[in-house]
Amino acid sequence: MPYTHEELDFLFAHPEAIEFASTLELSRKSELREIAGLRKDYGDKARCLVELVQSRRTAQRKIEGGSQWMVDSPSAQQATPSPVADFRAQHLKGLGVERVADVTCSVGTELMHLSRAGISAVGADLDFQRLRMARANVPNVPVLRADALHPVIDAPVVIADPARRGSSGRIHSIKDLMPPLPELIAAQQGRELAVKCAPGIDFSNVDDWAGQVDIVSVDGDVKEACVYTPGLRAQAGGVGLKEGGQEGSGLLRRAVVMRASGLLTLTSAMPYEEDDAKAAAPAGRYLFDPDGAIVRAGLVRHLAAQHGWWQLDPRIAYLTGDTLPGEQGTEAVDPAEAVRAAGARAFEIVEQVPLKKLKAALHARSAARVEILVRGVDVDPDQLRKKLKLKAGKGKQNSWSVVIARIGDAATAFICESV
C-alpha cells in the first residue's frame, strides 16, 4: 500500500526505527504480535514500517541493493528486475545513446542502470511520493514531476512503462494502458522510444511504428516485452545479433534469455526452416521445451535450426532431436548446463503412447509422481494427475515427466526422464 506524505516523512527521519523493524520476522505466525509491539513504540507509523520492511524483502529479489531501497509494495512488485534494466541500458549504450528520459520512473530502477552505463538520465513521474523515493534511491539522477503525455524533458530517447494493472486487474488492451500506448506514442513523436509492455503483446498492434521487440525472461520466467522504435534497433554485428545477420525493414524480434548459466539472445534475423512439412518430423531421442521468451518471440524454429532439432508438429512449440547441445564438441560438457544455456529444458523420451493409454503405461512403470507439461491439448495437469490414480512411493525411478502435445489430430503423451 502506498505511503502518505506524513508516513514517508517519518521513514526518512527515523532510520533507527527502520533498522529495528527490519530485525522482525513478520511471518504469518508472528506478524500480529510484532505489529502490536511496533504500535506501542511508533503508534500509527507502525503500518509504514511494516510496509517498508516487507516491500524491501520483495525488492531484494529483483533490484540490486533493493534491501536498502525506499519502496512500497506496488513499486516493489512492479519494478523491472535489475538484470533486465541493465540489459536495456547496455543495449542503448551500445547504440551510442547519451541521454535518456524515463517518463514513468517510479522509484528509480531504470535510472540506476542507465546512470551506471554512463548514460545521462532524467526521471519523471506523476506520483510525488515515488519521486521522493527515487531521489533517495538514485541521488545522482535528477527527477521531476511530469506527465508522460506532456513531455518537458529534453532527451532524444524516452523509456516508458505504462501501467498494466488497474483497479479491476490486469489490462490486456494497449489502448487501456496508463497512459494509453497510442497516446504515449503520439505525445513523444519525434523521439526514439523504448516502451515496456506485457510479454503476451500482439506484435501486429505495434509493427506500424516499432522496429524491434525484445521478449525477456529471467530464470525461465518471462518478465516483459520491450518495444523499440526503428532508431533503437540492434545493429548488425551488435548486441545480440549474429554477425552479418541484420534484417532489412520490418519488426526485428529478439528472445533474451537470462539464466545463471549466461545470456542467450536469439533473433528473427537468424536462419530457420520456413516449410511446415520440413519443420516437423517424428520424435527423436530427446524432447525440448523452449524457454517462454523464445516461444513468445516466435523463434522456436530459429532455436531448432541452431541445434539440428525439429518440431513434433509445425503448430506446437515442443522440439525434438537426437543430440543434446554440446554433444558434438571435443570438451566434456554438463548436459543440464548445456541445455539451459541453449534456452530450453530437455527430456529423454522413454515411451510414446496415445493420451488415453497414459494411465496404463504409468502404472506399468510403477510411477508414483509425475510432472505434466501440456501444449495444444485441452488438459488440466492437476485434474489429469487425479485421474491417473498413481500410488505413492519412494525413489527416483518412480518419478517421471510427462509431456503431452497434439501431433496432427491426436493427443500424444511422452513419458520421459528429465535431463
pLDDT band at 398, cuts 50/70/90? confident
User: What does the pLDDT look like over 122-180, one tens digit per residue?
Assistant: 999 999 999 999 999 999 999 999 999 999 999 999 999 998 876 667 777 888 888 99
Tell me the mean pLDDT in the region 343-372: 96
Element (H, E) at 278: helix 276-279
CA separation for the pair 235, 92 (Å, rounded): 11
Nearest to 237, CA basis, from 202, 206, 265, 209: 265
**CATH number of the domain at 276-418, please?**
3.30.2130
Tell me the mean pLDDT in the region 288-316: 97
pLDDT band at 233, cuts 50/70/90? very high
Domain ranges of the chain: 5-60, 77-266, 276-418
User: What does the pLDDT look like over 66-97, one tens digit per residue?
Assistant: 999 999 999 999 999 999 999 999 999 999 99
- How do beta strands 143-145 and 369-375 pair? unpaired
Q: Per CATH, the architecture of 77-266 is what? A: 3-Layer(aba) Sandwich (3.40)
Tell me the mean pLDDT in the region 6-13: 98
Percent of the chain with pLDDT over 90: 84
> What pLDDT sits at residue 247?
45
Tell me the mean pLDDT in the region 384-413: 88
Which tops the pLDDT comparison, 338 or 3?
Answer: 3
User: What does the pLDDT look like over 38-57, one tens digit per residue?
Assistant: 999 999 999 999 999 999 99
CA dihedral 279, 281, 285, 291 (to 10 degrees): 40
Q: Is the pLDDT of residue 239 over 80?
A: no
Lowest model confidence (mean pLDDT) among 30-44, 111-125, 159-173, 301-315:
159-173
Are 91 and 64 spatial neighbours (Cβ–Cβ below 8 Å)? no
Residue type, 170: R
CA dihedral 118, 123, 129, 135 (to 10 degrees): 30
> What pLDDT sits at residue 393?
62
> What pLDDT sits at residue 242?
32
